[in-house]
């Protein structure tokens, strides 16, 4: 499943420290020293060191990074707990939704993944990564028409992304629209590879159609 690329927020503490130091110099250094105190003996009072705030909740990026570490360690239960907390405390932070849907997909909870990504798209309806990933979930649910709609929307937003157009070709083939699927594959692959992939998809479609038409045993 694709991960959304959002610009990282850089830490601004070094800049803030410089500004605070400059402010202290301007506030304290502009006043002439007391007549009874020489320049060599004058000392500025130092403010007490600021203690770290312990009452601030973790940021969305902190929780998200923690969840990524837990996922890499295979601790899905703990990872899901952190992602759900991130979603609850920072409801507009959509990368947490995407990672949660990925975890749900990995565990075979496709219906939950669809709900999670649908909720994320309520926040960012034109996010191509979320659209594509929702299409993948719908493809697994064999909702090929809806999957094609998501892939088409994602490809429309990022036309140069070949993955999205390849997913469109997959959905088209599974809908039995073989000529359209092949034409799309030929846009992103050499002719021989496009033909090979089209044949693989055709066989998958035929197998799916055979399973659909088979009547259940009496």
At which of 98, 125, 152 does a domain end? 125
- pLDDT reported for residue 210: 78
Q: Could you tell me if residue 30 is inside a domain?
A: no
Number of domain units in the chain: 2
Predicted confidence at residue 208, as pLDDT, reads 79
Q: Is residue 178 in some structural domain?
A: yes
Question: Does residue 94 share a domain with residue 148?
Answer: no
- For residue 200, CA distances in Å to 157, 169, 195, 206 come to 28, 12, 9, 10
Q: Are residues 149 and 198 in the same domain?
A: yes
C-beta of residue 119 within 8 angstroms of C-beta of residue 155: no
Residue 6 lies in a domain: no
The reported pLDDT for the residue numbered 11 is: 41
The residues near 133 (Cβ < 8 Å, ≥ 6 apart) are 1, 2, 98, 101, 102, 117
120 and 63, same domain (yes or no): yes
Written as tens digits, the pLDDT of the chain (218 aa) is 666 554 433 344 343 344 333 333 333 334 444 444 445 444 545 555 555 566 688 999 999 999 999 999 999 999 999 999 999 999 999 999 999 999 999 999 999 999 999 999 999 999 999 999 999 999 999 999 999 999 999 999 999 999 999 999 999 999 999 999 999 999 999 999 999 999 999 888 888 777 755 545 44
Question: Can you tell me whether residue 144 is helix, strand or coil?
Answer: helix
**CATH number, domain with residue 77:** 1.25.40.10
Q: How many residues does the chain have?
A: 218
What is residue 205's predicted lDDT score, i.e. its pLDDT? Answer: 86
Asked whether residue 133 is assigned to any structural domain, the reply reads no
- 103 and 150 fall within a common domain: no
Q: Is 162 among the domain residues?
A: yes
Measured N-to-C along each axis, helices 94-106 and 76-89 cross at an angle, to the nearest 10 degrees, of: 150
Torsion of CA 119, 153, 138, 81, to 10 degrees: -30
CA distance 89 to 58: 9
Residue 217 lies in a domain: no
* Residue 170 located in a structural domain: yes
Does 111 share its domain with 64? yes
* Token digits of residue 111: 């219906």
Task: Specify the pLDDT at position 136.
Answer: 96
User: Domain range for residue 153?
Assistant: 144-212
End of a domain among 125, 158, 182?
Answer: 125
Q: Which of 164, 172, 165 is nearest to 201 (CA)?
A: 172
- The verdict on residue 8 lying in a domain is no
């Amino acid at each position: 499943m694709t991960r959304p690329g959002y610009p990282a927020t850089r830490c601004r503490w070094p800049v803030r420290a410089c500004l605070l130091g400059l402010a202290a110099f301007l506030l304290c250094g502009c006043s002439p020293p007391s007549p009874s105190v020489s320049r060599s003996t004058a000392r500025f009072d130092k403010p007490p060191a600021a203690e770290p705030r312990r009452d601030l909740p973790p940021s969305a990026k902190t929780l998200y990074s923690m969840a990524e570490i837990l996922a890499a360690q295979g601790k899905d239960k703990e990872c899901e707990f952190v992602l759900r907390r991130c979603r609850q405390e920072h409801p507009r932070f959509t990368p947490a939704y995407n990672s949660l849907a990925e975890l749900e997909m990995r565990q075979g909870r496709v219906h939950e993944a669809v709900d999670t990504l649908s909720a994320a798209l309520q926040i960012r309806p034109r996010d191509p990564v979320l659209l594509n990933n929702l299409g993948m979930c719908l493809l697994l649910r064999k909702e090929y028409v809806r999957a094609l709609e998501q892939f088409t929307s994602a490809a429309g937003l990022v036309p140069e992304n070949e993955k999205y157009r390849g997913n469109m070709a997959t959905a088209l083939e599974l809908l039995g629209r073989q000529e359209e699927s092949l034409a799309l594959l030929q846009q992103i692959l050499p002719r021989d590879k496009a033909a090979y992939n089209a044949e693989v998809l055709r066989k998958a479609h035929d197998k799916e159609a055979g399973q659909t038409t088979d009547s259940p045993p009496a």
